[in-house]
Amino acid sequence: ECYTHMSTCYVNSDKKGYIEEKIYDVTFDVEQHINHLKTLSVEDIEKQTPEILGNFPNTYTFTKSMGERLLKKHRGSLPMLIIRPSIVGSSYKEPYPGWVDNISAAGAIVFFCGLGIIRDGIGNINVVGDLIPVDYVVNATLVGTAYQANKDSLIVHNSGTSGSANPILWGVFVKSIERYFTSYPYEQQVNPPHGRFHPNKRQYEFWYFLRSKIPEKFFEALSKITFSKNMQKNVSKLKKVNQKGKMVSYLLAHFTCNEWIFDQPILKQFQESLSFEDQEQFYTDPSDIVWKHYVYLYC
């Protein structure tokens, strides 16, 4: 038997740099902290959210981090594996190349850049964007569970690509999206897919105002002068498009501006536990990913 818990690499997004496959110690009792939060009203929690989160970018990463520590505390002798995927993207091979069932995280960048909704984003093109195809995560989960079965211990696996010999930079990712949708544009494309990453929010706000808000204000003024209901309707759509693009940019900023290298030494042990035939079937090594090809599949 083995209890396998699906977490995220970004349980350590309150840190930066090199991240090991372990649960880092904290200076407070997690259970007491959670019990204290339960005594607060919803209004108080909302007011205190920045203080509660500390250096965590959102409630998802914060609660996942607390969850890992509770599992460690109460594991007893139960064999346990914690899988930490990084930013999960579409499949590389299975069930078929490019399979995806939602638009979130990196998928939101692909979709909104392809539509031309995100023309400017917050991020550093020179930092590693830790993408991992979903089928690699599934295989690592299956192989890792079999590997850890019946062992009286807890192990952690960072399922990502930044710690491999084959990472991808955010700049390469965005440029590949632009090339794909320039050649194969969406029918519903709002603007040409020429996205830019800006390294800080001040630069982003400047370019967002220049390339998105000024055209919006111009067409809004023109619609009022001409009394065109059709133009007013289009201006309303443009406002929603701009708001959506800005919201996505800010939601992802912590992950596109900062860099983590998630070490994964246990992956080699997973692979060595398999026969050659099983290694072919349950592929887990991201060093064989051809990134340009993968991004095109994702698009």
**Most confident range, picked from 99-108, 212-221, 278-287:** 278-287
Higher pLDDT, 195 or 31: 31
**How much is the pLDDT for 27?**
85
Strands (E), the chain: 3-6, 17-19, 80-85, 87-89, 120-122, 131-133, 154-159, 196-198, 260-262
Task: Please state, in angstroms and as integers, the Cα–Cα distance from residue 135 to each residue in 102, 144, 279, 282, following that order.
Answer: 15, 14, 14, 9
Q: What does the pLDDT read at residue 241?
A: 85
Percent of the chain whose predicted confidence (pLDDT) is above 70: 100
Q: What is the pLDDT of residues 2-29, one digit of tens each?
A: 999 999 999 999 999 999 999 999 888 9
Check: pTM over 0.75? Answer yes or no: yes
| Domains of the chain by residue range | 3-24+76-298
- What is the per-residue pLDDT for 193? 86
Q: Distances from the Cα of 245 to the Cαs of 78, 127, 218, 231, in angstroms? A: 45, 21, 19, 21
pLDDT tens, residue by residue, 236-246? 888 998 898 89
pLDDT digits (tens, 9 = 90+) for 40-93: 999 999 999 999 999 999 999 999 999 999 999 999 999 999 999 999 999 999
Banded pLDDT at 103 (limits 50, 70, 90): confident
